[in-house]
């Protein structure tokens, strides 16, 4: 129960956390002037009228960054338990973690060689 009590704290905190910024926004909603007009509510692009759709196809480069990050993210998640257990591990178990990092490093080397991590 003690553990869940800690998480109950986090739960209440998570509900409260968006309320803190919502309060000033609500107060401002009461206080502020609101005189919208067509020109004012247009998309702001330095005064030029906006052309075409914003939500268009983007370049694949962003996707590659996202993907490489995802691979590293999963690796980090698997390494966290290893790092926590580090002091209790014998040398063999410890080396297993090193091998894990080495294998992932290969992937990074490949990405380097192919030049996909260079911003274009």
Partner 1 sequence: MDCPGLCEALVQGGANPGLAQFLSLFVGVVLVSGIPLVTVIVLILVERKVAARIQDRIGPNRVGPFGSLQTFADLLKLLTKEDITPTAADRLLYNAAPLVSFASVVLIWAVIPYTPYHFGADLEIGALYFVAVASLGTLAIMTAGWASNNKYALLGAFRVVALLVSYEIPLVFALMVPIMLAGTLNMLDIIYAQSSMWFVFMAPLAMLLFAISSQAETGRAPFDLIEAESELVAGFNIEYSGMKFGMFFAAEFMHVFTNAILLTIFFFGGWLGPLWNEPLIAFAWLGLKASLIYFVFLWVRNTVPRLRIDQVMRFNWFFLVPVSIGNLLLTALLLKLMQELGLAPRVLQTATLGEVLPMTLVLLLANLGIIALILGRLRTTGRSERLATGGGAGSMAVAAGD
Partner 2 sequence: MEFNAITLAFIVFSLVTLGGGIGVVTCINLFRGTIWLMVSLFGMAGLFILLSAPFLAAVQVLVYIGAIAILFTFAVMLTRSITHLPVRFTRLWANAFAAGAFFVLLVAGVIYPVWVVNDAVHFPVSDVTRTTADLGVALVSGNGFVLPFEVASLLLTAAMIGAIVIARDVDDEL
C-beta separation of 64 from 118 below 8 A: no
- Residue 52 zone, left/alpha/beta (φ > 0; ψ -120 to 50; rest): left
Token readout for 75 is 């690796």
Residues 68-107 as x/- pattern, contact with partner 1 by CB under 8 A: -x--xx--x--xx--xxxxxxx-x--x--xx--x---x--
Shortest distance (Å) from residue 22 CB to partner 1: 6
Alpha carbon distance 118, 10 (integer Å): 40
Judged by CB under 8 A, the chain residues 75 through 94 that form the site for partner 2 are 75, 77-78, 80-86, 88-90, 92-94
> Does 12 sit near partner 2 (CB under 8 A)?
no
Q: How distant, in Å, are the alpha carbons of 34, 56, 102 from that of 48? A: 24, 19, 52
**CA nearest 47: which of 36, 55, 39?**
39
For partner 1, which residue of 43, 47, 49, 106 counts as binding (CB under 8 A)? 43
Judged by CB under 8 A, the chain residues 25 through 64 that form the site for partner 2 are 55-64
Indicate the SS3 state at residue 37.
Answer: coil
Return residues touching partner 1 (CB under 8 A).
3, 5-10, 12-14, 16-18, 20-22, 24-25, 27-29, 31-36, 38, 40-46, 50, 54-55, 58, 62, 65-66, 69, 72-73, 76, 79-80, 83-89, 91, 94, 97-98, 101, 105, 108, 111-112, 117-120
């Amino acid at each position: 129960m003690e553990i869940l009590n800690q998480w109950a704290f986090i739960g209440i905190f998570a509900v409260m956390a968006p309320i803190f910024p919502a309060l000033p926004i609500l107060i401002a909603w009461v206080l502020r002037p609101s005189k919208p007009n067509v020109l004012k509510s247009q998309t702001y692009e330095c005064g030029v009228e906006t052309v075409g759709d914003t939500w268009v196809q983007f370049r694949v480069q962003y996707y590659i960054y996202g993907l490489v990050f995802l691979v590293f993210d999963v690796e980090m998640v698997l390494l966290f338990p290893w790092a926590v257990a580090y002091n209790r591990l014998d040398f063999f178990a410890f080396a297993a973690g090193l091998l894990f990092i080495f294998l992932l490093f290969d992937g990074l080397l490949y990405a380097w060689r192919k030049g996909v991590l260079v911003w274009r």
